[in-house]
Amino acid sequence: MPKIQTIDELEAIYYGYNRNLIRKADAPVTTGTAGTFNAVFGAYAWAQLNLEANAFGILPKVPWDKSGWRVITNKAPDLAVVAGDIAALGGTVEGGNIADTVKPTLKEIDVKPKTVQLPFSASEVMEWLSTHSKDDIWGGLGSLRLFMAVQHKEFINRQLMVDVEGLAAAAGADNTGTHNFETLDRIISSHAEEVAVGGANNKWYNPWVASANIDRDITNVPFDCQVESASGTIGTDGVLTDDTLRTFLRNIRKAAGKDPNVFLGSHEVYSEIQGLYMPSVRVANPYGESLVQIDVNGIQTFKGTGVGIHVDSIYGVPFIPTKDAPSYGTTEVGRLFALDTSDAEGYGYPRIGIQVAIPTEYYEATRRTPSYPFINGSFTEKGIYRTMGETVCRHFKSQGKIRDIKL
C-alpha cells in the first residue's frame, strides 16, 4: 500500500489517476425542480372532520302511515260517591246501583313530514375527466356522493340537537315553526322551562308549533316532560350530583311507570359524569399486583395500572355522546337527555323516534339524463340526497332532561 501524503494521492488511489473524472454537481434535479415531480393524491380524501350522527342513530325509525295520534292526558275521574251504595273507586254495596259513567280526557296531535336535502354538483369537465381520464382527481360526482351521504345524516343529527334557549333569547317574535326536523330540546321540555328561559315571546318550547295541539305558554301539564336543573332552578347553572341524577330518574319512573332506555348528551356532559363518579372508584390491588402492558401496533406501554373510568351507563341506562349536543364553553356543558325509545304499549310505534315518509334517496342529473343540460340550467352535473320525515313523540312523561350543568 503506497504512502498517502496529499489529497491528490488519495484521489488517485480511490478514483484512478484520471482525476478530471471527478465533477461537482452544480445543478442537481430535486423534487422542487419545475416539471419533474407531481404528487399523486389518489381517489380518496380523508375528512378531518367529525361527522358522527349518534342522536339520529339511536332514534327508532318507523314508516309514516298517519299524520296524527291521540293522547290520553288525564285518567277517568273517580266515581260519584253514593253514600251506602257506591264508593269513589268503584266499591259497590251488594245489589247496588250502577254508577254514572266516566271517561278519560283525550287530545289530538298532528304533524306534517318535512323534507331535508343536501345538493352538490361538479362541472361536466370535472365529471368527464374523473370518469374517463387517468388524471389524479377528487371532486367528481362519484367521490362527492360518498362523502355527502355521511354529511346528509350529520345534517339531520345537528337539527335534532338545536339549542332552543339560544333561539328564544335572540328572537324578535313568536316561534312559527322550523323547516328542520324538530329538535329534541323543544320536544323534551315543559311549561316551567318555557316560563324560565322561553324569552320575551311565545311558543319557543312548543314542538310542531304550526300544527300541533300543544301550548306550553300556559300550564300544560299533560305535555310536560321531566325537566330539571342541576342547580334546582331552571336557567341557573349548578354542579351535577348523584342525588340530582337519582331524583331525576325517580321522577321519570313515577310519571311514566318505567326508566328511560338511553341517555344522550355532549362529550362535556360525559366528562362531568366521569368526574362525578371518579372519587368512588377504588383501584383494586394498588400495590403492584396484576400490572398490565398494552400493545399498540407492536409498541408497548410501561407496565402499570390503568387510571380513570369509562362510563357506559348510569344506573343501568346506557349513555351515548354526540358532538352536536348543545354545550356552552367555559360555563355550562349543556343538557343530559333521558329518552324512552321503547314501544312500551305494544302499538308498533316508539314513544319517541323518527317517522319516515320517504327514506333517504339519491338522485342525480348528468349528461346521461334526458334534457341535460337544460334540466340543470348549466353545464354542471348535479346530485342530491333527500329525506322526508319528522321527529315524533307519543309519550312525553317518559322523556326528560337535566339542564344547566355547570362546567
- pLDDT for position 378: 77
* Dist CA 295 CA 201 (whole Å): 58
| CB within 8 Å of 328: residues ≥ 6 apart | 334
- pLDDT for position 42: 52
- pLDDT for position 61: 94
Q: What is the mean pLDDT of residues 348-370?
A: 88
- pLDDT for position 381: 82
- pLDDT for position 288: 47
* Dist CA 221 CA 366 (whole Å): 54
Given a cut of 50, whether residue 174 has pLDDT beyond it is yes
Given a cut of 90, whether residue 313 has pLDDT beyond it is no
Given a cut of 60, whether residue 22 has pLDDT beyond it is no
Given a cut of 50, whether residue 287 has pLDDT beyond it is no
Ramachandran area for residue 106 (φ above 0: left; ψ -120 to 50: alpha; else beta):
beta
Q: What is the mean pLDDT of residues 314-318?
A: 90
Contact at 8 Å (CB) between 325 and 334?
Answer: yes
Given a cut of 90, whether residue 328 has pLDDT beyond it is no
* DSSP code at position 398: T
User: Rounded to 10 degrees, what is the CA torsion of 374, 114, 139, 381?
Assistant: -10
* Dist CA 224 CA 191 (whole Å): 7
Given a cut of 90, whether residue 207 has pLDDT beyond it is yes
- pLDDT for position 291: 56
Lowest mean pLDDT among 57-66, 108-117, 129-138, 219-228: 129-138
**Percent of the chain, pLDDT > 70?**
78
Contact at 8 Å (CB) between 186 and 164?
Answer: yes
How does residue 279 score in pLDDT terms, banded at 50, 70 and 90?
confident
**Percent of the chain, pLDDT > 90?**
42
Q: What is the mean pLDDT of residues 278-284?
A: 61
- pLDDT for position 292: 55
Contact at 8 Å (CB) between 206 and 212?
Answer: yes
- pLDDT for position 95: 86
Q: Tell me which amino acid residue 218 is.
A: I
Given a cut of 70, whether residue 33 has pLDDT beyond it is no
Lowest mean pLDDT among 25-29, 218-222, 349-353, 397-401: 25-29
Residue from 145, 148, 181 nearest 59 by CA:
181
* Dist CA 145 CA 152 (whole Å): 10
* Dist CA 165 CA 267 (whole Å): 20
- pTM value? 0.81
Segments making up each domain of the chain, as ranges: 54-67+111-279+309-406, 72-110
Most confident of the following: 40-44, 285-289, 363-367: 363-367
Given a cut of 50, whether residue 41 has pLDDT beyond it is no
* Dist CA 382 CA 384 (whole Å): 7
Strands (E), 61-111: 61-63, 68-74, 105-110
How does residue 280 score in pLDDT terms, banded at 50, 70 and 90?
low
Given a cut of 50, whether residue 284 has pLDDT beyond it is no
Residue with cell 313515577: 254
CA 51-49-335 angle, to 5 degrees, is 55
* Dist CA 396 CA 399 (whole Å): 6
Residue from 36, 138, 148, 65 nearest 357 by CA:
65
* Dist CA 327 CA 349 (whole Å): 31
